[in-house]
Structure 1
């Protein structure tokens, strides 16, 4: 018998179903933690709007059905049909709310044909309510509560599709039509005013509840898009700057290499041994260019520790995370290379805090201990598995610190905390500047032109 036999039968089936539920739960948690904060807010808002009509149906819609309905077959039939119509409206809301939400945020267009079915359901529910009033199947209080519940599922997406003034005019028209129908059914006095005003009150309630929340979410999405655009512009500007630096470093050197190579070819064709001297010069200039490129890249990747500390605090506070910095004056004891390495540690740690888990507090602590400086970044939002070990961020930092005789440790610290600790010697030597390369300087490229013309 193989191991699969254990899952057959009654108990095995239950174990399989339990395993399926566990897998689905883990998958849901993975998708939830994979969302950004703004995506979580968006999902929470839409879920709230989708469940709100069901809540009102179970309160304003069910209570009169049980307490205020006359116990006769006809009122019970009309009341049951009315409840089914309201439930159908709530079910149809799930189909319309997402496109209405996207239309309000400017992310898509709402198909107007989707309002036909909700409109028919709303008119059917109003007709059933008028029939209940005409047959005296419900008293005044129950009629008003039914009237309150009826338009909510229709109004929830509709308020996002039309301007506020248009929505108010349509709400007044609905209240006027309802008042006329109830009056024709024999409803009078306060009962008529309550039943007619209930629909308008529901419309105003949804206007005040749905529209501001969608507007605030729209502002947050616009701010997020502006930050993304700003980041892309910053990257483009940095690429241009780096390109200018590379051009300044290599432009003349490559021109010298091209001229000397052409000169060496002409000399070689004429059988002159001085062609070898020219290629030696090309080799020397190429080596000098390699060192200059390394210097440009090294300078491009430098990070200022103090600037990174304050930048990390600003980013985390803007993300809603309480961040405090302790002992930042210890950075004064660091040399340039060690300070730059810890600056990159701060940047990577800040990225991990924002990307992994859902922290509320973060502490960045810098301490000087003898001849070394220790950086500790601790937050209370450690996920189940911590930052992925397959990424290149932490291994790259370990390599950078190892070159300075430093170390890096990262992992859960207990009680839901995650701690990253980096240590470097305070007197780590900075990178040495490249020495001069013998040979003709690229600044004297003009001297090669007459020589090349003469050889030609």
Structure 2
């Protein structure tokens, strides 16, 4: 019982929907064999019943293969199985016609009529419905059932069946075939929609990262573009003045030096603003993004207001990274964020379910490669970060930051720390 559960949890949501769709229609083929194939042996006898069972088994096998090939074609993994669809259609028509002939001209026993009627009805209902999986047009998919129903009416009348009986039989075939065809069409639509939603979620994540990079690049351009243009002009002027032996060249180079230092300061301000994150805004944003992706997000604990700015900024980055990785990894259905302010300590925990088996066994979980960056940010203010699985399918990320005393504020720590290069922003 352990292995099937692990195999199922390892799949993503679209893969689970695809597996469910595939095996639901496989079950139709299996049900066809056991409902009319295997049960025909007793009423028809060993020879005739064995022949009927073999014919139904062949049709069920064709249905089984058609389901696999059609679902693969729907997902673009193989070409449309046109030949297989025609083969299944021809086999369905031939078996149904043979069942009618057996019922009209075979041994005149009630058991034979019942068995032949069962084979006829089940074959004509399941066959067109499974063929509909491999048809692109919905109108054509439903038209298959109408065509088989019309053929049933013609063949029944040709074999001498009463008109009312033939019409009633065709109506049953039409209703059953349309129902299975509708199930096939709806299942294909649902499967494609789930895959498209999953791709849209991945695209949204990539667009968010790209937008942030563009914003940072735009800010750097606004800061550096004007200053570099002025520096270039003043440097050119200083060169010309120096070539002429003019003393004003020195003042121009002093101005260039001042502009360079000013540009360095402004770049540091941009980087510092880029690295700041408001904890309250990040909590609200994470809850909105996760719930939009269908993940129930609960935020509880102490309010974020009143915490030192450095603590809020660091924890804001923890929330941002944790929410991003919950979306990217695993198959979460719920996420719980809890903020606690204890005596001299702030604790933020983010817990989610839906961790895939491979990540759970490796201990990496949904945190990804961002753990190193988060630990680096927290270490500046003496914070710690722990992340790992805490149960079957559960992952928890916990950040702890000591609150500063009034005598040693956080503002004194960064002043003694060396300035970080601008290139680290893109890491």
Alignment TM-score, normalising by the size of structure 1 = 0.74
1:15 alignment partner in structure 2: none
Give the equivalent residue in structure 1 for 2:92: 122
Instruction: State the Cα distance separating 1:174 from its structure 2 match.
Output: 1.3
Alignment-derived partner of residue 254 in structure 1: 228
Question: What does residue 444 of structure 1 align with?
Answer: none
Please tell me whether the aligned partners of residues 268 and 275 of structure 1 are also in contact (alpha carbons under 8 angstroms).
yes
* Aligned residue number for residue 155 of structure 2: 181
Equivalence for 1:341: 314
Is 1:429 aligned to residue 410 of structure 2? yes
RMSD (Å) for aligned C-alpha atoms? 3.7
| Cα offset, 1:80, TM superposition | 3.8
Instruction: Pick closer, same or farther for the CA change 1:421–1:176 going to 2, 3 Å.
Output: same
Residue 420 (structure 2) aligns with: none
1:123, distance to aligned residue in structure 2 (A)? 2.7
Secondary structure, counterpart of 1:255 in structure 2: helix
Secondary structure at the residue paired with 2:361? coil
Specify the SS of the correspondent of 1:323: strand
Corresponding position of 1:217:
191
1:407 aligns with 2:388: no
- How much has 1:99 moved relative to structure 2? 5.0
Instruction: Give the corresponding residue for 1:96.
Output: 69
Q: TM-score, normalised by structure 2?
A: 0.79
Distance in 1 (alpha carbons) for counterparts of 2:205 and 2:366:
27
Equivalent residues in 2 for 1:252-291, closer than 5 Å: 252-272=226-246, 275-291=249-265
| Matched residue, 2:119 | 146
Q: Does residue 1:172 correspond to 2:142, yes or no?
A: no
Aligned counterparts of 1:301 and 1:63: Cα–Cα separation in 2 = 70
Whole-Å separation in 1 of the counterparts to 2:68 and 2:366: 41
Q: Would you say the 8 A contact 1:101–1:157 is kept in 2?
A: no
- SS of 1:404's partner is coil
Q: 1:409 to 1:72 in 2, by over 3 A?
A: closer
> In 1, Cα distance between the equivalents of 2:122 and 2:257?
85
Secondary structure in 2 aligned to 1:145? Answer: helix
Cα distance change of structure 1 residues 323 and 431 upon mapping to structure 2, 3 Å threshold: farther
| Partner in structure 2 of residue 45 of structure 1 | 21
Contact 1:65-1:79 within 8 A present in 2 as well: yes
Distance 1:298 1:113, change over 3 A: farther
Give 1:24-423 correspondences, 5 Å limit: 33=10, 36-49=12-25, 51-68=26-43, 70-71=44-45, 73=47, 75-76=48-49, 78-94=51-67, 96-102=69-75, 110=80, 112-136=82-106, 139-151=112-124, 152-158=126-132, 161=135, 163-187=137-161, 195-227=169-201, 234=208, 237-272=211-246, 275-329=249-303, 331-382=304-355, 383-387=360-364, 391-414=368-391, 417-423=394-400
In structure 1, the gaps of 5 or more residues are 1-21, 435-456
How many residues are paired up? 402
Distance 2:382 2:16 in 1: 42
Partners of 2:101 and 2:50 lie apart in 1 by: 11
Measured in 2, the distance between the counterparts of 1:416 and 1:159 equals 34
Q: 1:230 to 1:316 in 2, by over 3 A?
A: closer
Q: Any idea what the Cα deviations from partners look like across 1:389-421, whole Å, max 9, x if unmatched?
A: 994301110100111121111223346543221
Alpha carbons 1:102, 1:109 under 8 Å: kept:
no
CA offsets 1:74-111 (integer angstroms, 9 cap, x no match): x33641442243134224314531255348xxx99746
Distance (Å, rounded) in 2 between the aligned partners of 1:399 and 1:44: 44
Contact 2:69–2:78 at 8 Å: present in 1 too?
no
Cα drift, residue 211 of structure 1: 2.2
SS in 1 for 2:320: helix
Separation in structure 2 between the aligned mates of residue 319 and residue 233 of structure 1, nearest angstrom: 15
Measured after TM superposition, the shift of residue 246 of structure 1 is 2.0
Residues in 2 aligned to 1:223 and 1:217: alpha-carbon distance in whole angstroms: 10
Change (3 A) 1:271 1:111: farther
Q: Deviations over 1:19-55 (max 9, x none)?
A: xxx9xx89x968973x542343234323333x13323
The CA deviation string for residues 275-329 of structure 1, in whole angstroms up to 9 with x for no partner, is 4554444333223212211221221232221122122223333444433211241
Aligned equivalents of 1:140, 1:261: Cα separation in 2: 103
> For residues 40 and 248 of structure 2, what CA distance do their matches in structure 1 show?
107
Q: Is the 8 A contact 2:325 2:368 kept in 1?
A: no
Q: Secondary structure at the match of 1:384?
A: helix
